[in-house]
Structure 1
Amino acid sequence: MSAEKDPKEALLEAALAHVPFDGWNEVTFRAAVEESHVEPALARALCPRGALDLAIAFHKRGDAVMVQRLNDADLNEMRFRDKIAAAVRFRLEAVDDKELVRRGTTLFSLPQHAADGAKAIWDTADLIWRTLGDTSDDFNWYTKRMTLSGVYGSTVLYWLGDDSPDHARTWEFLDRRIENVMQFEKVKAQVRQNPLFKPFLAGPNWALGKVKPPSATSRTDMPGHYAGDRQE
């Protein structure tokens, strides 16, 4: 391994050739260590959970490609829903081999790794919103990411089984999912604006308004904070 190459990147590159055949597992990890010439002790220090950590690194690599494409694209004339659709499409197009994602889906479907898979999807949704300029600072921060995580996750599963030219059916499926979300948001807005419901929603809205997104200065092991929390 050259001194200039990041050892974790070298491990990931070596692993990718084995994943379609062996999956994200210990067999792949050991092969990656041998072929990348990364010292075994260093490899285990960088990836204490072996191939699982490489699978997460692979997912983050795709996220980085998506963000770069979003930053380079001219989205000014797009409707916001179309910007979201473009972001999801960019994320899927960042993958050269579906089998790498299919094997990852199998890995993250295991009970012991489900939390890592959910976090990876959540992080992708968060990156999309932040890159597109989301400034929400209340409970909407969570609902936006929760909704987009659902759209992204379902679209990935559809895409894995799509053999249509240029994945045309996947993009149609994505548009339908986003349309469902837009309809739901429209109903929510109508309920909030209805004077008959305002007395019943005043309490919940006040409480939800106190829920804030994660802060750069807050604990890193907690998902967010409550505005009424005591500040040290």
Structure 2
Amino acid sequence: MPTTAYPDPTREKLLDAALIHVVFDGWGPETFKAAVADSGVSEALAKVAAPRGSVDLAAAFHKRGDREMVKSLEAADLSGMRFRDRIAHAVWLRLQAVDREAVRRGMSLFSLPIYAPEGTRLVWETADAIWNALGDHSDDVNWYTKRATLAGVFASTVLFWLGDDSEGFVDTKDFLDRRIDDVMQIEKAKATVRENKALSTLFALPSAALSLVKAPAGARRADVPGTETTEGETAQ
């Protein structure tokens, strides 16, 4: 079951006010200062909602994109699509949910060593949101490999998209399709191993070890109150 995050309303108000400034000043102190002034939120309350200033707003912007993508997926008719096309469509919806220049500024912020781990976590959360929205029920090592693989596809596609000047971003669509095809080749190789008696015997021991790996407790569960998804947000 997909999780539904309830964002902090004050932070979202600050984010709305910040976005007009991000394209000029990036996700820096000046943007946060302008957001406080434009939103009418008191400085004290703003510091509670976003203790790290624009860094928290940049993270909130990314998470907003995830939520919008999930909404679009839930409203879409995916019944006629192959599963690989559903994944590609989800990534494409995620790109359409955000402003490209704000993403570019966010990439600059989260490429800094101090924020790089958080940037990686945000990309992982996007991959997780896509798999959950598409009905993934894995609870073993595949929970991790699916998200790690898709996170790589998503990150590389975003980088390509930021430099794409083609009309309608058709080059990005082609790039995304190629990356998805690459992933499907890996899945076909894994299936070949499973179906080949000699190979399956060879990999029996490592497969047995990997079978002990389980998805995190509370993943995709709506009945675990307080499962943290972000600072100030909980999964319901």
Q: TM-score, normalised by structure 1?
A: 0.89
> Could you tell me how far apart the structure 1 residues matched to 2:52 and 2:212 are?
37
Shift of the alpha carbon at 1:23? 0.7
Number of the residue aligned with 2:87: 84
The aligned length equals: 216
Task: Give CA-to-partner distance per residue, 1:31-61, whole Å, 9 cap, x none.
Answer: 1111111111111111111111100110111
Larger-Rg structure: 1
1:110 to 104, 109, 112: 112
Shift of the alpha carbon at 1:12? 0.5
Number of the residue aligned with 2:69: 66
Query: In the alignment, is residue 198 of structure 1 matched against residue 200 of structure 2?
Result: yes
Query: Mind listing any 5+ residue stretches in structure 1 that lack a counterpart?
Result: 222-232
> Could you tell me how far apart the structure 2 residues matched to 1:198 and 1:144 are?
21
Query: In the alignment, is residue 33 of structure 1 matched against residue 30 of structure 2?
Result: no
- What aligned pairs does 1:161-180 form with structure 2 within 5 A after superposition? 161-180=163-182
> Could you tell me how far apart the structure 1 residues matched to 2:168 and 2:200 are?
47
Task: Give CA-to-partner distance per residue, 1:72-131, whole Å, 9 cap, x none.
Answer: 000011100000010000000112x31100000000100100111111110010010001
> Could you tell me how far apart the structure 2 residues matched to 1:12 and 1:105 are?
17
> Could you tell me how far apart the structure 2 residues matched to 1:212 and 1:76 are?
29
- What aligned pairs does 1:96-135 form with structure 2 within 5 A after superposition? 97-135=99-137
3-state DSSP of counterpart to 1:211: coil
3-state DSSP of counterpart to 2:115: helix
Task: Give CA-to-partner distance per residue, 1:162-215, whole Å, 9 cap, x none.
Answer: 111111110000000000111111112212322222333111111111111111
Equivalent AA in structure 2 for residue 25 of structure 1: G
Shift of the alpha carbon at 1:220? 6.6
Runs of 4+ in 1 over 4 A off after TM superposition: none
Number of the residue aligned with 1:141: 143
2:21 to 7, 18, 30: 18
Equivalent AA in structure 2 for residue 108 of structure 1: F
Q: TM-score, normalised by structure 2?
A: 0.87
Query: In the alignment, is residue 54 of structure 1 matched against residue 57 of structure 2?
Result: yes
Shift of the alpha carbon at 1:71? 0.3
> Could you tell me how far apart the structure 2 residues matched to 1:80 and 1:92 are?
19
Shift of the alpha carbon at 1:22? 0.9
Question: Alignment RMSD, CA only?
Answer: 1.8
Query: In the alignment, is residue 93 of structure 1 matched against residue 96 of structure 2?
Result: yes
Equivalent AA in structure 1 for residue 149 of structure 2: T
3-state DSSP of counterpart to 1:134: coil
